[in-house]
Amino acid sequence: MPAIPMDQQTTEAVAGHLGPAAIRFTHIDGAVPVLEPEVRDSMAIVTGFGPTNAPTAGTLSVMLGAVELQRRLHAPMTVIVSDLGAWNSRNVAWSTLVEVRDQMIAFLVALGLDREVTELRSHLDHANLVRAGRIARYLSRADFQEHRESLLELYADHGLLGSEIGVVTDSLYTVADVLGPFDNGAKHVLMVSGMEEAYFTDLARLVLNRQADAGELGLGWTGNIGALYFRVLEGLAGYPKMSKSIPASSIHLNMTPDEVAERVLSDDRDSQPALLSAIELASGWDAAGTAAAREAFADRNTQQGRWREVRAEYCDTFNRYATLWKQCAS
């Protein structure tokens, strides 16, 4: 089943389970049955982050959303910082990946992720590496060609991609991540990610169905995979996504206050919608604060000063997160 935009009916259904956190999601794929209270005891949540660089405002929005989701559902969660996957699929030095991985894990805890109900790990995990090896038999090269990241060409144009086999290997590790709860007895998995990563859900379902039909060559897994996809934070300067791999598209937590201000206070027309989205999703502001920001954005052509004041306030907010990020360095 393909991911579909959330209409009023599905939004209301998801909001019934997630409360205010539902506004963070724009697309849904079989998630409502997985969220029902009667299956909550056998449900697990899976999400993850790539440690290629310091979190952008887009990554921060997903991190804040993951913490909010965990608090709302009180369900076991697996959060993966995909060091080995990124090593294979991106042209980033291993030493950088390790450094950012460890800092990212500490930062997630500092944001409030509950370690008692969360498996917070990297791809250097024996169980997941074994699982990746066991599920490879159920997938073909054609599967990976059909189900692939929508931004691959953009990353390739910027010289950021690893080899074709490396990209496939990364996908295999992540599909194993999604399927991991089934190894531990779960019957329902909720995958939460950006929409550009929906292909991982598709590949995981292929494995789940094919191993179920494989008789004595199956893995004994039964259950459902549902997915919720976070609203994509647009990139600055007109880029489709605020990406760590494309510096001009983003603000990130390693920037100095002056660097953050240079981009957030810029009057570049193409950047303004992305800045409003960052305030809505990656600020932690309450409903009144974000509503005031939307109003100032709508009136920015006639009342430029108020929109600039809102952006200056967001500079302060983002820099507080940046300070926390730097404190989490080894």
d(CA 220, CA 207): 12
Q: What local confidence, expressed as pLDDT, does residue 158 receive?
A: 46
99 and 218: one domain? yes
- In 3D, which of 229, 202, 224 has the Cα closest to residue 43? 224
Give how many domains the chain has, as a whole number. 2
Residue 155 reports pLDDT greater than 70: no
Do 185 and 135 lie in one domain? The reply is: yes
H helix or E strand, kind and range, residue 99? helix 94-111
259 and 310 share one domain: yes
- Please check whether residues 245 and 143 belong to one and the same domain: no
DSSP state for residue 56 in the 8-state scheme? B
Q: Which of 184, 206, 230 is the last residue of a domain?
A: 230
Query: pLDDT digits over 19-66, tens only?
Result: 888 889 999 999 999 999 888 889 999 999 999 989 999 999 999 999
Phi then psi for 188, rounded to 5 degrees? -140, 130
DSSP run (H or E) holding 121: strand 118-122
Which pLDDT does position 78 carry in this prediction? 97
Mean pLDDT, residues 87-106: 95
Which residue has tokens 């999703």? 281
CATH number at residue 131: 3.40.50.620
For residue 246, which of 29, 74, 90 has the smallest C-alpha distance?
90
User: Domain boundary at 230, 259, 284, which?
Assistant: 230
**In 3D, which of 224, 163, 171, 234 has the Cα closest to residue 199?**
171
Q: Are 9 and 133 contained in the same domain?
A: yes
Q: Is 70 helix (H, G, I), strand (E, B) or coil?
A: helix
Over the chain, what is the mean pLDDT? Answer: 91
197/297 same-domain check:
no
* Helix (H) or strand (E) run with residue 297 in it: helix 287-298
Same domain for 223 and 244, yes or no, is: no
Task: Give the pLDDT mean for 247-265.
Answer: 94
Residues 192 and 57 in one domain: yes
Residue type, 301: N
Q: Are residues 104 and 157 in the same domain?
A: yes
Tokens of 225: 């995979």
In the sheet where 4-5 sits, what is the strand order? 4-5, 25-29, 224-230, 188-194, 43-49, 77-81, 118-122
Stretch 312-326: mean pLDDT? 97
pLDDT single digits (tens) 65-76: 999 999 999 899
Domain housing 164: 4-230
- Picking from 197, 230, 263, the residue at the C-terminal end of a domain is 230
**Do 245 and 264 fall into the same domain?**
yes
Q: How far apart are CA 137 and CA 213, in angstroms?
A: 13
29 with 146, same domain: the answer is: yes
Identify the weakest region by mean pLDDT among 20-24, 80-84, 208-212, 274-278: 20-24
DSSP 268: -
| Residue length of the chain | 330
User: Are 222 and 261 members of one domain?
Assistant: no
Unique residue bearing structure tokens 């030493």: 95
Percentage of residues of the chain with pLDDT beyond 70: 94
